[in-house]
Amino acid sequence: MTDQGDTPPTVFVLFGASGDLAARLVLPAFFRLAQEKLLPAQWQLIGSGRRQLSDDDFRDHVHEKLTEFGPKPEDGPREVWDEFASRLHFAGNGFTADDPGELVDKVAQAEQELGDGDPSSVQRVHYLGLPPTTFEAYTEALAAHDLVERSRVVYEKPFGTSLESFRSLDEAVHRVYDESVIYRIDHFLGKEATQQLRALRFANGLFGSSWDRHHVAAVQIDVPETLDVADRAEFYDETGAVLDMLVTHLFQVAAEIAMEPPKSLAADDIAQARADAVKAFRPLTTDDVVRGQFDGYRDIDEVADDSDTETFVAARMFVDTDRWRDVPFLMRTGKMMAESHQKVSLVMRDPQGGPYCAPDEAGNPDCADIPRRGNVVRFDLSGDGELGISMNIELPGSASALTTQWTTISLHDVHGGDPLPPYVRLIHDILLGDRTLFTRPDGLEEVWEAAGAALDGSAEIRPYERGSWGPSEALRLAEPVGWTLGDQ
């Protein structure tokens, strides 16, 4: 990580500061940056919301949420929390184009203090930790109250809810902001293991030479969750698994895997390579999608009795490039499933001949004794991340047989490393102005087009039992390879 010694004084405005996203992710990330000494030398965070809170009330709120979600203030030196808390402020009474509430005055005061009387030396970061339906109105309000100058703006996912709403929002945002200062967050791109995709492929000839349809039988991006949705049922019923996960996180990870080698590791080159990969995504058809809803979902408070919101989606997508033609990219996610994982697997092709493949009666190679899916390259995106490789090896001992063995590298244990949660990394990059891990509109518009039948409702909702691997119909999508997790 880069320290912030040369970063200008910064006012960080957090819209939705008392909401769930801020409590679970943004505020903990900011405190972690403070603990790591990765914030600018001079900064203030101003929480914005409709509530009436004093600065001390807001500090108490932040302390409470950090105690609940971590990192806990009490686990470190008291002076770290005291210093952090002194820079927290709150601007109440909401924020609209017609009425800025307390925000404009709070920002002006912070800039006077941070800029030593020269407010023009202070950069602004506006973080919209809000529902996507509010993005356009808040962007217009920032312009109406002259808060755009010297600022960067951060939008949470999803950036739009359909192709039409994406285009409308994108046009509205670009009326106010230049693309160079827009940061659309997809925290899966900030995960340590996601970034290892590039290193493994482009810094290792062994893997880079095998990253294609000749060596890979299937790509699987599998994010099952055991979690319920009861604590955010109203939001989830308006969103569903397709918007919450598929067209945001999973499609972007698929693009990271599918992209051609970028010209360099510069932000624009990586973003261009990712966008070009998305353009090659073949639109999903009804046959490529299985949508499901766990039993009892409609009984949850704040969920409609006739809701057809999916809590599970599996999709089989193809990437129409010479490198990946006819290789299925299998994506699956759902709530209330048997296990929780965040795993990306490249299932390597089985041998088609050789000494372990005895000829059958017709003289053709019979490789049945080689373990199925024995050779897999896997990236575990959860936590600090882990790389894993499974290989077929000779079973030690007197028996002449093959078995499969995994070897793993925990990124937490890499000597000299300091893995950080994705929101910590992404907010750090925003403060530095590094857009490498953020999406661009030309990589998003095609996502909505590729989503096809996953979005239009043409794939029927199928029930599945809590604690299962989802609707059994999803098994056919992975044939003949089969899913590497769960029921195969």
- The full set of domain ranges for the chain reads 10-156, 189-420+444-478
32 is in an annotated binding site: no
- In degrees and rounded to multiples of 5, residue 343 shows phi and psi of -125, 135
Q: Are 314 and 484 in contact (CB under 8 A)?
A: no
Longest dimension (CA), the chain: 88
Residue 341 annotated as catalytic: no
Residue 443 class from Cβ within 10 Å (0-12 exposed, 13-18 middle, 19+ buried)?
Answer: buried
Q: Are 28 and 66 in contact (CB under 8 A)?
A: yes
476 is in an annotated binding site: no
pLDDT on residue 368:
81
Helix (H) or strand (E) holding 81: helix 78-85
Find where tokens 């972007």 sit: 252
- In degrees and rounded to multiples of 5, residue 436 shows phi and psi of -55, -40
CA distance 148 to 175: 11
pLDDT on residue 371:
85
pLDDT on residue 401:
85
- In degrees and rounded to multiples of 5, residue 483 shows phi and psi of -70, 140
Query: How is domain 189-420+444-478 classified at the CATH fold level?
Result: Dihydrodipicolinate Reductase; domain 2 (3.30.360)
CA distance 197 to 438: 16
Q: What is the dihedral of CA 206, 207, 209, 215, to 10 degrees?
A: 120
Walk along the chain (488 residues) and give the pLDDT tens digit of each residue.
555 557 999 999 999 999 989 999 999 999 999 999 999 999 999 999 999 999 999 999 999 999 999 999 999 999 999 999 999 999 999 999 999 999 999 999 999 999 988 999 999 999 999 988 899 999 999 999 999 999 999 999 889 888 999 999 999 999 999 999 999 999 999 999 998 999 999 999 999 999 999 999 999 999 999 999 987 888 899 899 999 999 999 999 999 999 999 999 999 999 999 999 999 999 999 999 999 999 999 999 999 999 999 999 999 999 999 999 999 999 999 999 999 999 999 999 988 888 888 787 777 888 888 888 889 999 999 999 999 999 999 888 877 788 999 999 999 999 999 899 999 999 999 999 999 999 989 888 999 999 989 999 899 999 999 999 999 999 999 999 999 999 66
Q: Are 411 and 384 in contact (CB under 8 A)?
A: yes
Token output for 343: 């795993």
Catalytic residue among 63, 89, 249, 341: 249
Quick check: pTM over 0.85? yes
225 is in an annotated binding site: yes
50 is in an annotated binding site: yes
Q: Which ranges of 182-266 would DSSP assign to H, the alpha helix?
A: 192-202, 205-208, 233-241, 251-258
Q: Write the CATH number of the domain with boundaries 10-156.
A: 3.40.50.720
263 is in an annotated binding site: no
